[in-house]
Amino acid sequence: MAEKTINVTLKVWRQPARGAQGRFETYQAKRIPTDASFLEMLDIVNNGLERNNQDPIAFDHDCREGICGSCGAVVNGRPHGPRRATTLCQLHMREFKDGDTIVIEPWRANGFPVIKDLIVDRAAFDRIIQTGGFISVRTGQAPEAHSTPVPLKNAEEAMDAAECIGCGACVAACPNASASLFTAAKIAQLCKLPQGHPERTRRVLHMVRTMDKEGFGSCSKQYECEAACPKEIKVSNITVMNREYLRALLKADA
């Protein structure tokens, strides 16, 4: 059986460097296998550009298995593309039709400055994590798994929050470019477990303040972040973060 292919038109955001003026450029992606991933399609287009001595489209990627959170772009107005609970590297060309026009642009947020083309600087997430996304434990031999009792509900909620891969789709989807879902997931992941309680107050204060300092917007509960998240992190984690933040403020004033 012959391999099924499609031809699509790409309108890609090209920006040569941070702070430079960008623009959309149009490319023809021809005879793309429908079983190819979206990033493989970009690889094919880039091979053609390089053969013509043109600058290839710059985009982030690493594992290409939906694990690392490196890849990301807005495809036809939707972070990671049209398929729900899917990273860009897991998106396949069978989601598109022959003759489609696909608009590809980077995450748009003050906290994510464009480095080149579709690549943005997501170091702000690292700085948020550095201010509080850790626990203090004695080094050495790992404790026995059952030595610290954890209610099943708490364990499951912590594991659900821990699925966040820090891709930034929540920021790109939010009309306010808020990083609340990402920050809340990291806070909820640790505050649900007893191991995270020693830094509980300091963690939420530092992480929320760092998030604001990095230039991300405020949360207005539009739920776009949850809809765009490839790991389906719930907005309920933001409620947890707000509760933790209020608790920390009251404790600091006591």
Q: Which residues pair with 6 in a beta bridge?
A: 32
123-137+145-253 belongs to which homologous superfamily? Alpha-helical ferredoxin (1.10.1060.10)
pLDDT value at residue 253 = 66
Q: How far apart are CA 4 and CA 183, in angstroms?
A: 42
CB 205 within 8 A of CB 131: no
Please state whether beta strands 23-33 and 119-120 pair in parallel, antiparallel, or not at all (unpaired).
unpaired
* E strand intervals along 38-162: 74-75, 78-79, 101-105, 114-116, 119-120
pLDDT digits (tens, 9 = 90+) for 181-206: 999 999 999 999 998 999 999 999 99
With a pLDDT cut of 70, the percent of the chain lying above it is 98
**Is 143's pLDDT higher than 80?**
no
The pLDDT value given to residue 141: 75
- The pair of structure tokens assigned to 214 is 């990095």
The residue ranges of every structural domain in the chain are 5-105, 123-137+145-253
- The residue ranges of DSSP E strands in the chain, in sequence order, are 5-14, 23-33, 74-75, 78-79, 101-105, 114-116, 119-120
State residue 252's pLDDT score. 75
Positive or negative, the CA dihedral 205, 209, 211, 216 is positive
Q: What is the pLDDT of residue 1?
A: 62
CATH architecture of 5-105: Roll (3.10)
pLDDT band of residue 135 (cuts 50, 70, 90) is confident
